[in-house]
Amino acid sequence: MRLLAVCWLVWSLAGLTEARRKLSTNSLVSCMEDSQLTAKSFDVVFNPDDLSLNFRLDLSTEINGTVRAVVEVWAYGFKVITEAKDMCGIGWKQFCPVTPGDIQIQAVQYVSAEYANKIPGVAYQVPDIDAYLKVMVHETQSNDQVACIQAHFTNGRTVAQTAVKWATATIAGLGLLASATLSAFGNSNAASHISATTMSLFLYFQSVVVVSMENVERLPPIADAWAQNLAWSMGLIRVEFMQRIFRWYVQASGGEPSLHLTSTTTSVLAQRSLDALVGRPVSKATQSLFASTHTMIFRGIRRLAYRANIESSSVVCTGLTFFLLFGYLIAVAFTLFSGLLELLIRMKLMNPVRFLDFRKTWVIVLKGVLLRYIFLGFTQLTILCFWEFVNVDSPALVVLAVLALLLSLSIMVWAAYRTIYFGRASIGVHSNPAAILYGNENVLHKYGFFYTMYSATHYWWSCMILAHILLKAVFIAFAHNSGKTQAVALFVIEIIYLAALAKCRPYLDRATNILNIMISSVTLVNSFLFLFFSGLFGQPASVSSIMAWVFFILNAVFSLILLIMILVCIALVVFTRNPDLRFKPARDDRRSFQRKSTINILGKASTAELLALGTTAKAHNENWEDELKKQQTVTVDDQVVSPEDSPFAEPVQEPKTSVSGYIKRKLSLKRDKSTRSNRSQYDRLQD
């Protein structure tokens, strides 16, 4: 009972802590050029329960004289509060009058209930609130505006949750594991469907992160936070000791590691991404936020990295390291599993015919799994490598980026070439691309990731996906200084891809085609929404705030639907005896060419044994027992051995007969003929 009481108390305190209302800000940024008031550090917390305002200010000013301030509070693009204040009337001697130099204030002040009641209660509950305070400073005598500062609020609630990140990553990983496992043991109909669904889900997650990498003028917090949930799909995962190693590596290899996360003298604003400038303002007059000596404004890839608690100089290191790490883990796990099977067979703990096909072809299957992994990581590799060419964190990282890019590009080009080569060879000989693509087991195991998701006539569609990814990577990395260019380019690319997808409908059945058209449509809507975030249309801020909620709701609901579909597919595979019956067959004749798996080899072995027994009984050889065992072995081996990795299998050579064997066979045939003739004469006599 005492333990239950303690648990209940801890749960209650946790609920009270979570339910505590507050508004806080820690970034103060200039909203006009040549502002005479800038912030070195700025931390303000307002608690509506006790009406306390805790603040710590460290400002730098060039103003000399008395000033007045016009305070505006904006929420989701709408002005909710406007107030004019004489700075001499608030009782702060540092502002009456203002003198050039540094101003440092740390105090607690209680706000009157009149002002606190103007803040709606929903401001403390809505996650990733889009609200900011804007202060315009005017000289009292001339009424000229000499400064403009802006602070963005947060209530501590966000949709960027660790649980969401783990859930999406785990379910997507289980789907990829199920598809890879089924492909390794036969490339069945269920394997093709799960592979198509999980790879489409993974590419969709990456597309959400890619579009959030655009250098847009104003990215509302709710859209930024949701994209952060899927940053793991691009390898942006923070591990503390790894970040220290990456920081050391950048510095040791001739670069200058950034220290924005640990800096106490520089304020970073990542919610409104405009530019990453130090010491100079943004040149365009249409932009509304400006960096200073002590304030940096991150956008695009830098903003995404900062929100993931990754230094901008460690982005490429982080992405490449996790890609290589997971690749090594896959290879090691595959090798250990194959070795474990061989060990169990040698210890006579498992039937030798179990997993016989896998044990004979596991090296080729491993190559296919690694090629599939590189295909999934192609978006991550291309964007990060191109970004390193622009950012140049260190010379060593540039060399690593060149190697990673060349290797991934060459491997994917080689896989595309071999797939097209086998497809054309099959069309030339059999008038059907499926004959070799699905009839040759080595080709299927190694390059099946490239075409099993599509119908046999559209085996080349992965080339379109690679070109689609490569084009987006080029604009994200090399056009990073122009968010409008990125937004327009990605929107046009998505339109072209969706049109081609809707026209060709390349996937293996109707349901998969509909699913991928829906995914492409959602991606197109995302790129359209980012046109508004880029400021291309010059719309009011309220429009962007509404579009951000559309972005969040659309992608959250759609992601949930896709994850449920993956779970259903996995359940059908795990809890169904024959999962192939649960999935609609493909729209081609791949099944007529595809060799059956040797999972059910025991039944085949029994049939082969009876056939060998009958064949041996006809010959009446003296060594009939040895011949029977020999024919059993030959029959089983013929069923499970895969052809070579070529479009045409070599003809099987008949074994040569020795002289003694030839004489024995002739004698047995004569004896068999004499027996049959005597038996026929006996029958005639009986008649």
Is 70 exceeded by the pLDDT of residue 609?
no
Which pLDDT does position 227 carry in this prediction? 93
What is the phi/psi pair of residue 337, to 5°? -65, -45
For residues 595 and 641, give the distance between their C-alpha atoms in angstroms, rounded to a whole number: 11
Is 60 exceeded by the pLDDT of residue 6?
no
Mean pLDDT to the nearest integer, 298-302: 87
Per-residue pLDDT of 213-263, as tens digits, reads 999 988 899 999 999 999 999 999 999 999 999 999 999 988 888 876 765
- What one-character DSSP code corresponds to residue 585? P
Is 50 exceeded by the pLDDT of residue 580?
yes
Which pLDDT does position 647 carry in this prediction? 47
Which pLDDT does position 525 carry in this prediction? 96
Which pLDDT does position 469 carry in this prediction? 96
The closest of 343, 361, 372, 341 to 598, measured between CA atoms, is 361
E strand residue ranges, 257-371: 267-269, 295-297
**What are the residue boundaries of the structural domains of the chain, listed by start?**
20-152, 162-260+298-582, 605-644
Buried b (16+ CB within 10 A) or exposed e, 291-317: bbebbbbbbbbbbbbbbbebbbbbbbb
CATH 2.70.220.10 fits 20-152, yes or no: yes
Which pLDDT does position 186 carry in this prediction? 58
Per-residue pLDDT of 407-466, as tens digits, reads 999 999 999 999 999 999 999 988 889 889 988 888 988 998 899 899 989 999 999 999
Per-residue pLDDT of 426-437, as tens digits, reads 999 888 898 899
Hey, which residues does 131 pair with through a beta bridge? 75
**Is the separation of the CB atoms in 137 and 146 below 8 Å?**
yes
User: What percentage of the chain exceeds 70 in pLDDT?
Assistant: 78
Buried b (16+ CB within 10 A) or exposed e, 357-394: bbbbbbebbbbbbbbbbbbbbbbbbbbbbbbbeebebb
- What one-character DSSP code corresponds to residue 232? G
Question: Looking at per-residue confidence, does 121 or 277 come out higher?
Answer: 121
Which pLDDT does position 155 carry in this prediction? 87
Per-residue pLDDT of 557-566, as tens digits, reads 999 999 999 9
Is 70 exceeded by the pLDDT of residue 67?
yes
Which pLDDT does position 540 carry in this prediction? 87
**Is the separation of the CB atoms in 415 and 447 below 8 Å?**
yes
Mean pLDDT of the chain: 80
Mean pLDDT to the nearest integer, 351-364: 83
Which pLDDT does position 626 carry in this prediction? 60
Per-residue pLDDT of 141-178, as tens digits, reads 888 888 888 888 888 889 999 999 999 999 998 988 88
Which pLDDT does position 375 carry in this prediction? 95
Is 50 exceeded by the pLDDT of residue 7?
no
Is 50 exceeded by the pLDDT of residue 645?
no
Is 80 exceeded by the pLDDT of residue 73?
yes
Question: Looking at per-residue confidence, does 679 or 116 come out higher?
Answer: 116
Is 60 exceeded by the pLDDT of residue 639?
no
Mean pLDDT to the nearest integer, 362-373: 90
User: What percentage of the chain exceeds 90 in pLDDT?
Assistant: 34
